[in-house]
Amino acid sequence: MRPKKNPNADIGRNSSLYFMIGLTSVLFVTWQSLEVKTYDKETQFSDVVHVMDDLKEEVPITEMVRTTPPPPPPSAPDVIEIVEDVEDIEETLIESTESNQDAYIEDVIVDIDDVNVGEIEEEEIVPFAVIEHVPVFPGCEDLSTEQERKECFNQKVQEHVRNTFQYPKTALEMGISGKVFVQFVIDSNGRVTNIKQRGPDRLLEEEAIRIISSLPKVKPGIQRGKPTRVTYAIPINFKML
């Protein structure tokens, strides 16, 4: 039987050789591509300095002031005359005031009746919560019990704070808020003294002091039958709406 194809025209018999040649060529080209080196091109800069040839500077005209030289010092005389002291100077003797061990100091006897002892009575400070008779705020005089007067005093102080309250403009612009604790003393004359404050910012503290300082004069508190200093504390809340 005669074959249909010519044996000399068989393409697949040398395919392995062609594959190896192609693979070797591709690997060679890839290796050469990895070995290629590139360099950045240098950029040339040209600096231009402008120098002005006609640089002129105006020098102010000054005037030299010539002062007269000081006169020469007086020359020493040719002959120096020596004058002897003829006046007698009396020396002042300073006696020592120190005492020695042999000196006797006489004891001074003082009678007790001759000594005047003054009694210094310190004014007592009583808290508002425990005072016998609380200070009476103007408008609370007609109340009979101490509890009613105490509640009226608290209410009047809060009304005074609300009526005189002014939010500091600078603190409002800066967004400062918080609570200021104020403590003060109502003295024996019914006046507000010794104000102490503690708050988040100085602006709020100053406004709290201004409010408390403007409290009216009240009837002082009574302890053991006499006017007494009374401490009172109140918080003032600065809150932006």
In a domain, 162, yes or no: yes
In a domain, 4, yes or no: no
Judged by DSSP in three states, 57 sits in coil
Q: Say which CATH number the domain at 132 has.
A: 3.30.1150
In a domain, 23, yes or no: no
Give CA–CA dist 241/235, Å, rounded: 18
pLDDT in tens, 159-216: 999 999 999 999 888 888 999 999 999 999 999 999 999 999 999 999 999 999 999 9
Extended beta strands in the chain, E state: 125-127, 178-186, 192-198, 221-223, 226-238
Q: What residues have CB less than 8 Å from 197, skipping those under 6 apart?
A: 180, 181, 182, 183, 205, 208, 209
- Whether the Cβ atoms of residue 127 and residue 231 lie closer than 8 Å to each other: yes
Q: How many structural domains is the chain composed of?
A: 1
In a domain, 109, yes or no: no
**Domain limits at 206?**
125-238
In a domain, 2, yes or no: no
Per-residue pLDDT of the chain (241 residues; tens, 9 = 90+): 565 666 666 666 677 888 888 889 888 989 888 887 776 665 554 444 454 555 455 555 555 666 777 788 777 666 666 666 656 666 666 666 666 666 655 655 656 666 666 555 567 888 998 889 999 999 888 888 889 999 999 999 999 999 999 999 998 888 889 999 999 999 999 999 999 999 999 999 999 999 999 999 999 999 888 999 999 999 999 888 7
Which pTM value belongs to this model? 0.49
In a domain, 132, yes or no: yes
In a domain, 54, yes or no: no
Give CA–CA dist 181/197, Å, rounded: 6
In a domain, 135, yes or no: yes
Smallest CA-to-CA distance from 134 within 229, 224, 215, 222 is with 222
